[in-house]
């Protein structure tokens, strides 16, 4: 599949992590998603019902970020992918979860995990 819709930089404040301080203080998480499916029906008809409403997808992703905490960002990515795949048109989703303020003792720019799910 070569057609896709991408939403990048969805931000939310969550309490995910294995350390007690992460659970108590929380931190910002940033998520990028790419939904893969044929966009031809929407493009040819100009009909939103033949596509994925990216505003709703962004809201779903944000709800997962700020929702119930998990230990690992891998688990957060799985929850987000599962939620997006409930949309009937989406065939594959790529989810990247960024944890830019992860508790790492050396200077770094970002930590992220990326998963692809059919």
CA–CA separation, 28 vs 87, rounded Å? 26
pLDDT, tens digit only, all 118 positions of the chain: 689 999 999 999 999 999 999 999 999 999 999 999 999 999 999 999 999 999 999 999 999 999 999 999 999 999 999 999 999 999 999 999 999 999 999 999 999 999 999 9
- Report the alpha-carbon angle 34-58-18, nearest 5: 85
Residue with tokens 């990216």: 54
pLDDT value at residue 1: 60
**Domain assignments of the chain as residue spans, ordered by start:** 4-117
Write out the two tokens for 113: 């995990």
CA–CA separation, 65 vs 76, rounded Å? 7
Query: Would you please indicate which residues are annotated as catalytic (active-site) residues?
Result: 99
CATH (residue range 4-117): 3.30.1130.10
pLDDT value at residue 2: 83
């Amino acid at each position: 599949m070569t057609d896709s819709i991408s939403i990048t930089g969805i931000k939310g404040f969550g309490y995910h992590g294995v350390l007690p301080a992460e659970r108590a203080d929380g931190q910002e998480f940033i998520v990028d998603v790419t939904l893969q499916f044929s966009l031809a029906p929407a493009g040819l008809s100009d009909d939103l019902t033949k596509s994925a409403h990216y505003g709703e997808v962004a809201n779903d992703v944000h709800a997962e970020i700020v929702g119930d905490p998990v230990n690992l960002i891998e688990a957060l990515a799985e929850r987000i992918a599962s939620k997006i795949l409930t949309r009937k048109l989406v065939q594959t989703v790529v989810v990247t979860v960024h944890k830019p303020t992860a508790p790492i003792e050396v200077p770094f720019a970002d930590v992220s995990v990326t998963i692809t799910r059919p």
